[in-house]
């Protein structure tokens, strides 16, 4: 059976890929719980579609994550899909400038948050004997670049989290997929030490492209699995 109107939690839904994903799923009949730290952004998103419920939560705080999952379950009785779309980077990303504190900050936002969300949603998915977790990683995992060692390490770690979770939980009908987006025109580009040239930015992915990929994975039959999905800009990849 293909899921077309299930319950989805989008973590990191206040902007970029997360916001686009929340809106796209809602437009296709999903009941969406949009989670992030920025209340104003979430409220604006919720105003765009009646199927979106905002939840102010910090993915790196265990109590917030537990409340986020509980809110969705109390409202609908289940969680069919969780998308971890939260991501962070910093300008001082080179090894000559990266500090241990900033290293830990990025690993916490990009990887520890993904772990906490995974751990908290698994009991719900086990009970219902099914569910899909989608992690938005980075094309930097497959083709190293100068996005910084902390960013790349955290995005590599997300892949291990996804594959390890799937192996442990496959008997419970739980699937995981990792999307590897290439350059995408989102707010995270503002954290680059050197601005992206406009001619390059004009060829980048749009957040809606990533949202379409999430929708594709979410609508697959539970018998089908796409463990990894690269998604890159046509004109910037060879």
pTM above 0.95, yes or no: no
- Concerning whether 135 is annotated as a catalytic residue, the answer is no
Angstrom distance (rounded) from CA 186 to CA 94: 21
In the prediction, which pLDDT does 2 show?
47
H or E stretch covering 181: strand 174-181
Specify whether the CB–CB gap between 80 and 8 falls below 8 A.
Answer: yes
Strand extents, DSSP E, 57-99:
81-84
Q: Hey, is 46 helix, strand or coil?
A: helix
In the prediction, which pLDDT does 204 show?
85
| List of residues 6+ apart from 54 with CB closer than 8 A | 34, 35, 39, 42, 43, 45, 46
Question: Structure tokens of 203?
Answer: 């060829």
Catalytic residue among 84, 103, 135, 151: 151
In the prediction, which pLDDT does 1 show?
38
Task: Look at strands 81-84 and 174-181 and give their pairing.
Answer: unpaired
In the prediction, which pLDDT does 165 show?
98
In the prediction, which pLDDT does 94 show?
86
What would be the CATH architecture of the domain defined by 7-236? 3-Layer(aba) Sandwich (3.40)
Angstrom distance (rounded) from CA 92 to CA 121: 33
In the prediction, which pLDDT does 13 show?
93
In the prediction, which pLDDT does 187 show?
67
Interhelix angle for 16-27 vs 39-47, to 10°? 30
Specify whether the CB–CB gap between 73 and 94 falls below 8 A.
Answer: no
Question: Structure tokens of 199?
Answer: 């001619």
In the prediction, which pLDDT does 175 show?
98
In the prediction, which pLDDT does 176 show?
98
The tens place of each residue's pLDDT in the chain, 238 residues long, gives: 345 679 999 999 998 999 999 999 999 999 999 999 989 999 999 999 999 999 999 999 999 999 999 999 999 999 999 999 988 777 777 889 889 998 999 899 999 999 999 999 999 999 999 999 999 999 888 887 877 888 899 999 999 999 999 999 999 999 999 999 988 887 665 656 666 667 777 778 899 999 999 999 999 999 999 999 999 999 877 6
């Amino acid at each position: 059976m293909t899921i077309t109107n299930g319950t989805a939690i989008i973590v990191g839904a206040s902007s970029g890929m997360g916001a686009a994903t929340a809106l796209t799923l809602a437009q296709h009949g999903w009941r969406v719980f949009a989670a992030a730290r920025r209340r104003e952004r979430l409220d604006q998103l919720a105003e765009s579609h009646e199927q979106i419920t905002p939840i102010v939560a910090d993915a790196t705080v265990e109590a917030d994550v537990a409340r986020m999952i509980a809110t969705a379950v109390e409202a609908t009785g289940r969680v069919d899909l969780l998308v971890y779309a939260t991501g962070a980077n910093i300008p001082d990303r080179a090894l000559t400038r990266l500090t241990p504190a900033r290293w830990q900050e990025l690993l916490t936002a990009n990887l520890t948050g993904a772990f906490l969300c995974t751990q908290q949603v698994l009991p719900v998915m086990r009970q219902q004997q099914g569910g899909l977790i989608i992690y938005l990683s980075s094309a930097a995992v497959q083709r190293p670049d100068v996005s910084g060692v902390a960013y790349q390490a955290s995005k590599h770690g997300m892949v291990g989290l996804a594959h390890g979770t799937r192996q442990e939980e496959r008997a419970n009908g739980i699937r995981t997929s990792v999307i590897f987006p290439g350059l995408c025109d989102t707010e995270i580009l503002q954290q680059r030490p050197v601005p992206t040239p406009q001619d390059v930015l004009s060829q980048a992915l749009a957040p809606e492209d990533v949202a379409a990929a999430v929708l594709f994975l979410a609508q697959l039959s539970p018998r089908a699995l796409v463990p990894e999905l690269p998604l890159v800009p046509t004109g910037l990849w060879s």
